[in-house]
Amino acid sequence: MYIQALFLFLPVMAAQALDIHIPVRTRRTSNDSKPLNPQDFLARYGYMSQKHRSAEDMVEAIKLMQSFYHIPITGVLDNKTLEMMSKPRCGCPDIQPPTTRLPLMPDNPAAYTLGPAWKTKHLTWTIYRYYYNTRKITERDQKDAMDRAFKEWAKYAPLFFTYVDKDADLTIGFHQGDHNDGSDFDGRGTNLAHAYDPPDGRIHFDSEEDWVLSSNDGTELFTVAAHEIGHALGLGHSTVEYSLMGPVYTGFDEEFELHADDIRGIQLLYGRRQTSRTTASLPINPTNKPVEACDTNFDATVRGHDEYLYAFHGKKVYKIGDTGLMREDSIDRVFPGAPYNIDAAFRHPRTRQVVLLKGARMWLFNWFTLDPSYPNI
C-alpha cells in the first residue's frame, strides 16, 4: 500500500504546461479498488481546474489540499498526502465557491462554506432505489437508518422531516458507476456517496460498497447518510477534526453525536430549535446529572465559545449547562491537540479564544480548533 515518497520540484514541473502527467507510481485506494490519480483527485475535489493543470497549478493545488487536511504543507506528493487521498470519503468537492462564510470567530476564516438553505423547514424525503443486498440490510432497516440521520439534524435546528412515497424534496437512491449525474462512483473504493445543495435534494450512495449498520465490518450507512444529509441541507465540507462534515469517512462510533462545528453550521442556516427550557445547541445527556463543586477537584474551568462551562479533570472534560452535566468526553476529542492534566484555562474577553495552560506552554483554540501556531511558550 505504501510507496516511496516522490518529491516533485517546481523546476522539473515547470517544463510541462497543460494536462501534465505526474510520474508517480500508482497507489491503490484503501479498499484496493482502482489506482489513485492525484491530478484527478485534486481536480475532482475542487483544488485545481479540470482543464488547466500547469506545473504551478499542481503545486499550489497540493498545498491547498494539505492545508485543508492539516498535514505538513510541502507542495509535493509525499506519503502523508497520498495516504489522505486514498481514504474512503464523500464524493462532494472540498473547495466550493462560497455562498456564506461560517464565522467561527470574528477575525478568523470559516471552517467550511455554507450553501443555500431550503426556503421551507418542513421537508419530505423518500428512498426511490434501495441497496440491493436486502438480506444484509432490509428496506425497513435502510429507511430507519435514514430516518435516524434526519433526526440528528432536527435535534438542533427547527427542521421537520416526513417520509413520503414520491414527489419528495429529498430523494435517496443507491447507484453504481456512471449514473447520469456527472459524478461517477468508483466501485468499492474511496467515493462512497454524494449529495446536492438545496433546492436539488438528490442524495446518492454507491451500491457497490459493502454497506452495514452499527458495525465497522463495512461502510456504516447511518454515519454516511447523516453526512450526506448535511450536504443536502446546505453544508459544505468542514476542516474541523472530528466533525461529521469532514470529507473523510471515519467509521462507526457507538457514541455518535454531532460536533459543535456541525451544530453551529446548521443553526446558522436554519436557526436554533427551541426547547421548553432553553435553546438546543449541543448534545444533552438525558440523565442531566448535576455537577456540584464537591463532586471532583477540577484542574481548571473555562467558558467555551458556545457559552457553556467546560471543566477539566485529568484526561476528561465535562460540559456543564443550566441543567447540570451535559456531556463527558476525553479532552482530545473536544479540544483536539490539547494536553491532559492542564494547569489553567481562560477565555480572551474580546475574541473569545480559549487558552489552555500546562507548565510553560500554551494552547490557543478558535471554536475548538487548535491555532496552527500553538502550542507555544
Active site residues: 228
For helices 221-232 and 139-154, the axis angle rounded to 10 degrees is 50
Nearest to 46 by CA among 60, 34, 32, 35: 60
Q: For 142, what's the count of Cα atoms within 13 Å in the CB-facing half-sphere?
A: 20
Nearest to 259 by CA among 102, 109, 117, 372: 102
Q: Which residues contact 53 (CB under 8 A, 6 or more apart)?
A: 18, 19, 20, 39, 43
Report the alpha-carbon distance of residue 280 to residue 157 in Å, rounded. Answer: 8
Report the alpha-carbon distance of residue 77 to residue 71 in Å, rounded. Answer: 12
- Residue 294 DSSP symbol: T
Judge whether 93 and 43 are in contact, CB under 8 Å. Answer: no
Report the alpha-carbon distance of residue 361 to residue 338 in Å, rounded. Answer: 11
Judge whether 92 and 53 are in contact, CB under 8 Å. Answer: no
Starting at the earlier edge strand, list the strands of the sheet with 122-129: 160-163, 122-129, 170-175, 202-206, 193-195
Q: What's the Cα-to-Cα distance from 112 to each of 115, 219, 228, 331, rounded to whole Å? A: 10, 25, 15, 23
Nearest to 130 by CA among 121, 122, 116, 140: 140
Amino acid, res. 99: T
Residue with cell 484496493: 32
